[in-house]
Amino acid sequence: MSASPVSEPVLDVQDLRVRLRTPRGPADVVNGISYTVGRGETVAVVGESGSGKSVSVLALMGLLPDGVATVSGAARLDGEDLLTMRPDRLREVRGPGIGMVFQDPMTSLNPVLTVGRQLVEGIRAHADVGKAAARERAAELLAEVGLPDPGKALDRYPHELSGGMRQRVMIAIALSSSPALLIADEATTALDVTVQAQIIELVERLQREHGTGVVWITHDLGVVAGIADRVLVMYGGRCVEDGTVDDVLEHPAHPYTRGLLGALPDLAEPRADGSVPDLATVPGTPPAPTDLPAGCVFWPRCPVRADPRCETEQPPLAVLGAGGGGLPHRAATWCTEEAR
């Protein structure tokens, strides 16, 4: 977590929309999300399964299947729009400029190159170092992500490693080029808590030393509280609430966020053991992106809907008071005083 995010953004996403062609018709998976990630800042993206978190970041990277996805809006990385970039330029930028860690490590590891080779390439893309020094740094990085016997692991191919080891290798590769932006999609979910803490520490160091901006997608509220400066809550492909981590976790305004946090007694019973609830406590199911409701996207599940506009009009993101640290706290709902 950075102490004080600065205003010049590394990433500036404006009105991002993704429509996918599916056998059941067009699916509106991402419906106009806007956010920025400042230098050294971490933005956590949360929301139930299917809310469009992964698709929203795959769209930024140009990694959605051609002919299936229609992407619009803008996503500027250090001022350059990723969405209109030529494919060769995008490949160039994606390598050293953006580190990516996805749910499935095999999607971003190269199966025909050894772990060492992939790491050395990343390190040399960023720093003017010889092969031997880069290999030494590669082994250090593997040790830093908690991989046992890093020297040996350098000569292994991805398929020779266990799932947990592959995950850690992928994180090491993503960090190896000290990227301007790191996108982590459930990057540490499968790892045990000690390794997870080690990796979070490593990411924070990278942020301090290189000002890396981070987009961290997770279901784990403990991780959000520990790593995020700001939180963006997605539902039905929309941002329903965003703000500083303190504003969103301590003063959630949108009924969906309150449900996720177990803060709305009607929606979720607090756990007897006092543990932090998982982000899956709202009764009912999210809407299918092929069949989004008119009006507020949450209304079919909303326990407090009272406004006649809920079922007909989409509430805009309204600023709720000043927000912490001068950053706005916003929610898309008709049901708070400030948002009316």
Binding site for Mg ion (CB under 5 A): 54
Q: How far apart are CA 174 and CA 72, in angstroms?
A: 26
Within 13 Å, how many C-alpha atoms sit on residue 93's CB side? 22
By C-beta, is 217 or 296 nearer to ligand SF4? 296
Q: Tell me the closest approach of the beta carbon of residue 234 to ligand ATP, in angstroms.
A: 7
Shortest reach from residue 72's CB to ligand ATP, in Å: 16
Phi, psi of 167, deg, nearest 5: -60, -45
Kindly tell me which of 219 and 309 has the beta carbon lying closer to ligand ATP. 219
Token couple for 250: 């301590």
27, 43, 119, 170: which one binds ligand ATP (CB under 6 A):
27
Q: Which is nearer to ligand ATP, 122 or 287 (CB)?
A: 287
**Least Cβ distance, residue 53 to Mg ion (angstroms):** 5
Q: Can residue 252 be called a binding residue for ligand SF4 (CB under 6 A)?
A: no
Asked if residue 22 binds ligand ATP (CB under 6 A), the reply is yes
Question: What's the burial of 129, exposed, middle or buried (CB within 10 Å: 0-12/13-18/19+)?
Answer: middle
Q: Which is nearer to Mg ion, 134 or 183 (CB)?
A: 183
- Binds 307: which of ligand SF4, Mg ion, ligand ATP, none (CB < 5-8 Å by kind): ligand SF4
Site string for ligand ATP, 273-292 (x = CB under 6 A): ----------------x---
Identify which of residues 54 and 281 has a Cβ nearer to Mg ion in the complex: 54
Residues 47-66 that bind ligand ATP (CB under 6 A): 47, 49-55, 65
Minimum Å gap between C-beta 137 and ligand SF4 is: 49
Strands 230-235 and 238-244: antiparallel
3-class secondary-structure state, position 334: coil
Q: Which DSSP category does 251 fall into?
A: S
Measure Cα distances from 124 to 18, 56, 114, 208 in Å: 34, 29, 16, 21
Structural contact between residues 244 and 250, judged by C-beta atoms closer than 8 angstroms: no
Q: Burial-class residue 294 by CB neighbours within 10 Å (0-12, 13-18, 19+).
A: exposed
Among the listed residues 135, 144, 100, 98, the one whose alpha carbon sits nearest the alpha carbon of residue 114: 135
Does 70 bind ligand ATP (CB under 6 A)? Our answer is no
Interface with ligand SF4 includes 51 (CB under 6 A)?
A: no
Going residue by residue from 286 to 305, which x/- string records binding to ligand SF4, judged by CB under 6 A?
Answer: ----------x-xx--x-xx
Rule CB under 6 A: say whether 310 interacts with ligand SF4. Answer: yes
CB under 8 Å to 49, separation ≥6 — which residues?
280, 286
| Of 188, 196, 257, 333, the one binding ligand SF4 by CB under 6 A | 333
Closest to 62 (Cα-Cα) out of 91, 34, 95, 36: 91
Could you tell me the two tokens for 115?
């772990």
CB of 60 to ligand ATP, least distance (A): 12
- Residues of this chain that bind ligand ATP (CB under 6 A): 20, 22, 27, 29, 47, 49-55, 65, 68, 289
- Residues of this chain that bind ligand SF4 (CB under 6 A): 254-255, 296, 298-299, 302, 304-305, 307, 310, 315, 333-335
